[in-house]
Amino acid sequence: MSEVRKFKLTCIICPLGCNIEVIMEGDRIVRVTGCTCPRGEEYAVQEVMAPKRVVMSVVKVKGGMFPTVSVKTDKPVPKELIPEIMKELASVEVEAPVHIGQVIIENILGTGANIVATRPA
């Protein structure tokens, strides 16, 4: 018999903020309750198995209109990698012009996600 664990989560997919309960036996999910849509269920499973987030920040720019350009990961990345990604971003400096959507760092830390510009510079 493997150990039964309960996880209580608040869904962050939409502003409704459903309270979701996930029940696991060992490393297997046996039940997800409380969500009101399939996206919520997907989020809950993801959150328990391997939580992910979109990371956003700014990086330094040389010769632009502002000294920074805003960036984000183009898809969610593992939550535990956020501090390391932020360190990477702090050490980057790009040259203007930068266009919106431009890839600043490809495949950051092997996550498969790119860092892309969200503002021109």
Partner 1 sequence: MQNEYDVVVIGGGPAGLAAAIKSKELGLNVLLIENREFLGGIPIQCVHPGFGLHYFREDLTGTEFIHRILKKFLDMGIEYHTNAHVTEIIPHSYRHKILKVVTDKGILKLMAKAVIYATGARERHMFEIGITGHRVAGIYTAGEAQTMMDIYGIMPGKEIVIVGSGDVGLIMARRFTLEGAHVKAVIELMPYPGGLTRNIVQCLEDFGIPLYLSHAVTRVEGKKRVEKVIITKVDENLRPVPGTEEELECDTVVLAAGLVPYLKVIEKAGVIIDPATKGPVVNSYLETSVPGIFVAGNALVINDLVDYVVEQGEEAAMGAYEFVRNGGLPALRWRKLVKGRNVRLLVPHYVSDTKDVMIYARVKKPEENVKVRFPEIGKEIRLPFVKPSEMIRIKLRKTDIAKAGDKITMEVVPNE
List the structure tokens of 37.
Answer: 């849509």
**Minimum CB–partner distance for residue 9 and partner 1 (Å):** 8
- In angstroms, give the least distance from the CB of 66 to partner 1: 5
The Cα 30–Cα 12 span in angstroms is 22
By beta-carbon proximity to partner 1, the closer residue of 29 and 74 is 74
Site residues for partner 1 per CB under 8 A: 9-17, 53-58, 60, 65-68, 70-72, 79, 82, 86, 90, 100, 118-120
**C-beta of 26: minimal distance to partner 1 in Å?**
25
Q: Which is nearer to partner 1, 4 or 12 (CB)?
A: 12
∠ CA 110-116-121, nearest 5°, is: 145
Of 101, 120, 117, 112, nearest to 75 by C-alpha is: 112
Q: How far apart (Å, rounded) are the C-alpha atoms in residues 58 and 43?
A: 27
Q: Minimum distance between the CB of residue 57 and partner 1, rounded to whole angstroms?
A: 6
Of 30 and 103, which has the nearer Cβ to partner 1? 103
30/50 with CB nearer partner 1: 50
Rounded alpha-carbon distances, angstroms, from residue 35 to 46, 84, 120:
14, 32, 38
